[in-house]
Structures are given as structure tokens and as C-alpha cells.
Chain A
Amino acid sequence: MQEFAKVISTISLSMIITSYLIIELRNLKYSAYVYMIQAMLMCTLFAIFAIDNPGLYYWAATAFITKVVIIPWLLLRYIKKTTDREFQPLIGYLGSIFLISAVVVVLYRVTHTYIGFVAPSQFATAEPFRTNLAVSLSIFFMGLYCILIRRDAIKTVHGLLILENGVHLSLVTLAPALRETALIGIVTDVVIAVWILLYVIYGIYQKFGSTDTLQLRGLRW
């Protein structure tokens, strides 16, 4: 796996950059396309790791079907039904990029340095698994940031997808022997969750006239 270390690092870095773009692009359609690219990068990573662990080829195939094909299709379908302009976020470009960068740098450094805290075995503390875990956690928290800060409901779904990609990516290091059935169960749940969420968001759009979550103030206390 050492011979692919540079490729793995480049793809991992690209996953962080694509997460940035998914969060920061104001056009929801473009965010969905970038999500598709991120999913393809993840499939490529799985395929590279599969050279040593052929079981991961199934993971790459599963991720391709669900994350490169089905989820972007659902996203684009509902964006077409609603609007492709993200509702004005609470924090502007500069503030947001500064905040995410701070979170990512701190998280990446901490995870990379204190990898023993999350790595279950000696094997997981070595490269490229060390970088994989650090990237996974960074992406996970970028997704969480997106969910907490953005007010557009469809962008919140993008945040959820980034969050879930973070967990999915970590499986390479934390659970490489996970059976395909378990993985299929996980991704099926994600696809159904995205579908139902988008259906509800379409309802919000119909009843409230926009996908701004700050309008949802009817139920308090």
C-alpha cells in the first residue's frame, strides 16, 4: 500500500476540498455535482485499498451505485422541483471559509498526531490509514458545521451527506473486514433517509414558499 501513499494522500486532500466546495457553492445544483465527484473520489480510494483487501471492491461498487448515481439523481430531481439558489447563509464566504479551515486544521492535526486515541490497532496507526482517519474525522465535522450553520434545508441535506461520507471513509481503517450485507444496510438507510428528507423539504417549499429553515418557527417551547 506504501506505493500508493501519494495517490491516497492526494485523493484524501481532494475529498476535503470537495467538501469545502459542497458547503460553499451557492448553487445547489453545482453542490450536487461536486458531491458526485466526491463520491467518485471515495470509490477510487476504496478501489485502491481493495488491492490489499479485495472485499473492498464490493464497497466501491456499492458506493458508486448509491452515492454517484442514486443520491445525486435524487438531489438534482428535488432541486429542479424547488430552487437551485441556496438561501442566504448565516455566515458569509470569508467567515465561513475561515471557520471551516480552523476546524479542519485543528482536527486534522490533532487526529493525525494523536491517532492512537481513535485507532483500534497498531496497523491503523500506520500510513496511509493514519491519513485516512484524520481526513474522515475532518470531513465528518465539516458536515456537522454545514448542518449547524446553513439555513437552506437542501444544503442541510448536503451537510448530512458530507457527515455520512466521513463515517463511510473511516470504515476502510476501522472496519475493513465489514461484511457487504452490513454495508448495504448502511447505504440503503442513507439513500432512504435522503429521499424522505427531500420529500419533506419539498413539502416545506410548497407550504412556506422557500427552503429557508429559519421560517420553521411555528413550534416553540
Chain B
Amino acid sequence: MNNEILYLFLTPFIAGIFIFLVGRKSRVVGEALALLGTIVTFVIAFKIFIATTHGEVLTLYSSQLRMDALSGLIAGLVALLGLIASFYSVPYMRREVEVGAIQAERMGTYYGWFMIFLSTMLCATTVNNIILLWVIIEGTTLASIILVGFYWNKDAIEAAYKYAILLTVGITFALFGCVLLYSGASAQITGGGDPLKLTEIAKVAGKMPKSIVLLSVVMLLVGFGTKAGMVPFHTWLPDAHAEAPTPISAMLSGVMIKVGIYALIRTVLIFYPFYPIVSTLVLVFGMLTMVVGVIMMMMQDDLKRFLAFCSVTSIGYILMGLGLANYLGIYGAIFHLLNHSLMKALAFFSVGAVIYSTHHRRVSELGGLGKYMPITAVAFYVAAFALGGIPFFNGFVSEFTLFIAGVKAGFPWATVVAVAVAILNVAIFIHLTYQVFMGEAPENLKSAGIKEVPVMMWGGMLILAFLCLLIGVYPQIVSPILNEATKAVFATIAMP
């Protein structure tokens, strides 16, 4: 079973290389290789997900590669969304070629980078080596820059530049943080332990000098926080999410920013028992992120930018849970991470379907689409209600968990702020849903002959909608998984 770790990220990588070699000549070959690669990757990830969430810890190369329940959960999410996004990409990107937004010969490049991007995100969940973690996290950025700027028009290039420069500078801060952690741990580890291993660093977290810890935590928060879309380092996020092709937006928002959160969990949370200021710092950043995100959401007319700022708000919720530092808080953070991946990917796929059919993405240019696109409308309702935190949808359950955790951790003010943000969220999403899918369609849309999107697009949307509803109505179904993932986080934290 341990070898599966290797297959997990090598499969999409090899598929990506093959697409670059042979898939660029034929669009169909590129598509077929991408679909095959994501299917095989999903099967491997699912096996790992089942094993790790049942308590098994997989290791390879003297634990340089290590997967526990948290890694397994995130790898499962990456593979699931990768699978759905690859199927979705086929009709979506073909349409982009038809309308002249993309040249047909560039499709191989799209699928090639898509698979490499998938591979880097999966690899990030497997490494137990602090420097390799940094290398791979930077790899996820490098693999996605071309995808962000794929339309290669003015806006797309601007987004790609901002994305590349901000994340690369941010991650250089994280490199300093990682080096400091490694050097701090090296001085403390005795008896042959490897100071590059995250699990070994965690064991001596309490022995490291406070100054080194604080400096490295600040550097890591800046670096991995930029990756996660944490305010004030989030400015790349709305541009990149809005200008990338929609399947890539779904991947960026659904899973890539979670990889940044994953890196923070592995490197920053290990200091919680020894330096309470670290968790307070994470909590404060979380609350700031949440508030700024929801304020910016209110100012958007572009659907994709709106969803991008909604991701900023959700990252705020996840950071809040992590900052609460109690079991329920971290459980809630992982729960919201899982839910957000599903509901935000669903929201982006639904918006992508709207763009596919109408060629419009501004809220002010849309309306009454429910009549013409019933499946997309249902999918969007589910995503909007889940993101808005309405009861019986998955977003509500994880947000409610975080509210309770805030009170239990002794931070009622955090709960009050989070509830206020949630109320605003509900109002914004109900308003948006009404504007886009209900009421009367504008004349230009009525005469445009709008139709529902192909099954390759709505099939994945319905799977995600089903999962959002299932978890919302019966949250106990994911409780064992979340408990295992939370226990995995605490298992790597040394206690004083």
C-alpha cells in the first residue's frame, strides 16, 4: 500500500509529460490522456483516502513521504475535483476554441499543465520533509501560472503576472521560515533524528528558542498565507480566479488554496502548545480575512470575482478554526476546508456553465436563467445556499461547528464576528441567486437561444451538489473521517 504514495503523484505527472510529448498534435489524444490520467489518479487517491481515514499511516523512503488522515483527505479532494474538472474541461475548452478565445493547437498545453498542476498538489500532501514541502508548494504555483494566463489577453496576462510575482515573493518568505525551522530543530535534535522531517521538527518544537519560533512563524504565515489567500496577502486571488479558464478557477479555489492551509497546519500548528501567541496570530488573521472577504464580496459585479472574494471569506473561517486551537476548532476548520472545496468548486462550475451558455459573467447582464438552464440553476442554488450557510446544506454545519468552537475556546467575540459575516453571506447569496437565475431574462439573452450545458459539465456538478446536500442533511457521515484527520493533526503536535 505504501507504494501508492508514489503512484499518486507520478500518475498525473507522467500523463502530463505524455500529453506534452504526443497530446499536442491531436486535441482528442490530449483529452483522452487527461481523462485517463485523472481517472487512474482518482482510484489511487480513493484507496489512500480509505486507508488513511481508517487510521493507517503510509510511509515511504524512511518517512520522507508520509500520509496520514489529513493528507489522505486533502489528496482525495484534489483527485476528486481534478477528475470532475478534467471531464468539465472537454466541452468547456472546446467551446472556447470554437469562439476563438483559444487556439486549437494550445489545447495540449492546457491539459499538460493541468496534469502537472494536479501532480504537484497531490505531491504536496505526501511530503514529510520541510524543504521538499516548500519546493512542491512553489511547484504548485509554477505549474499553474500558464493556466491562469491561458487566454493570453491583456487581463489574463496581468492576472498571471500578479499571481506569479506575489506568490513567488511570498513563498520566498516561507523559504526563510522553513530554513529557520530546520536550523532551530537541528540544534535541538539528538540521537540521529532527521531535522528535515516535519514529524521530527514537531517533536522538538517546544525546545526551540522563542525568537526563532516567532520569526519563522511570521515568515511562514506570510509565505503559506499568501498561497492560502490570507488577508492582506490575498490580492492575487480575485484576479487569478477570475481570469483563469473556469475549470482552473475551480481547482484554484477548490483545492490549491487549501494546499497553503495544509502547509500552515503542518508547520505552524506544531508550536501551539508552547507559544499561545502563535494561535492568537492565526485567529486574528482569520478574522481579518473573513471580514475583508465579505466586504469585498458586496462590491462585485463579476460573478467569478465575487466567488473569489467568497473564497477569501471562507479561508477566514478556516483560519479562525485553526486559531481557536482547541479540538473542536481544528475539527471545524478541517470540516469547513472539506465543505468549501466541494461547494466552491460547484459554484465555479455552475458559473462556468452560465458563461458557457450566455458568454456573460456580470451579474448586471444576467437574469432569469433558471428557465433555460434548470440543472445549472439547481446546482447553483445548492452551492449558493451551502456557501451562504443555510441550514441543511454542508456550509451551515461546518460554520456552526466553528461558532460553537469559538465560544468553547473562550473567544466569544470571534463567534460574534463570524455570525455577523455569515448573516451578510446569506443575504448576499440570496440576492445573487435571485438576480442571476430568477426573475425575467434580459431581451438579449431571451433571443440568444440559451440551452443547458452538456452532460460532461453538469454530471460533475450534480455529484458535487449531492455531496453538499448529503453532508448538510447527514453530517455524521463524515464525522469519522474528520475525527481521524483532526487526530492526525494533534498526533504530530508534541505536548509539553
Contact = CB atoms under 8 A, between A and B. Distances in A.
Interface of A: 116-118, 120-121, 124, 140, 144, 147, 153, 156, 160, 163-164, 167, 170-171, 173-175, 177-179, 182, 185-186, 188-189, 192-193, 196-197, 199-201, 203-204, 207-208, 213, 216, 218-219, 221
B184 A120 contact: yes
Q: Label chain A's interface by main secondary structure.
A: helix
A184 to B, nearest CB: 9
Contacts, number: 125
B145 A200 contact: yes
B417 interface: no
B129 interface: yes
Contact of B179 (A163, A167, A204): A167
Interface string B275-313: 000000000000000000000100110000100000000
A118 B212 contact: yes
Contact of A218 (B155, B165, B176, B215): B155
Nearest to B159: A219
Given A120-B183, A120-B212, A193-B142, A200 B135 contact: no
A163 B157 contact: no
B138 A193 contact: yes
B180 interface: yes
Contacts of A156: 165
A207 B215 contact: no
A177 B129 CA distance: 14
Given A167-B176, A219-B243, A193 B164 contact: yes
B169 A218 contact: no
Given A189-B135, A216-B161, 14 more contacts: A117-B211, A121-B187, A160-B168, A164-B175, A167-B175, A174-B183, A175-B182, A175-B186, A200-B157, A216-B162, A218-B155, A219-B158, A219-B242, A221-B300
- Which 9 residue pairs are nearest across A and B when measured between Cβ atoms? A174-B183, A185-B135, A182-B131, A120-B183, A117-B211, A121-B187, A216-B158, A203-B157, A219-B239
B132 interface: yes
Nearest to B185: A120
Question: Interface size bucket, B side?
Answer: 35 or more
A167 B177 CA distance: 10
A211 to B, nearest CB: 10
B2 interface: no
B186 A177 contact: yes
Contacts of B158: 204, 216, 218-219
A8 to B, nearest CB: 19
Contacts of A121: 183, 186-187
30 contacts: A116-B211, A117-B211, A120-B180, A120-B186, A120-B208, A147-B165, A153-B161, A164-B175, A167-B172, A167-B175, A167-B176, A167-B179, A171-B179, A175-B183, A178-B131, A179-B196, A185-B135, A186-B134, A186-B175, A192-B142, A196-B142, A196-B146, A197-B161, A200-B161, A203-B157, A204-B157, A208-B154, A218-B154, A219-B158, A221-B299
Nearest to A195: B142
B460 interface: no
Most chain B CB atoms below 10 A, which of A147, A171, A189 = A189
Contacts of B316: none
A185 B149 contact: no
Nearest to A147: B169
B161 A120 contact: no
Given A200-B145, A218-B154, A221-B296, A118 B175 contact: no
A164 B179 contact: no
A53 to B, nearest CB: 13
Interface string B125-139: 000010110110011
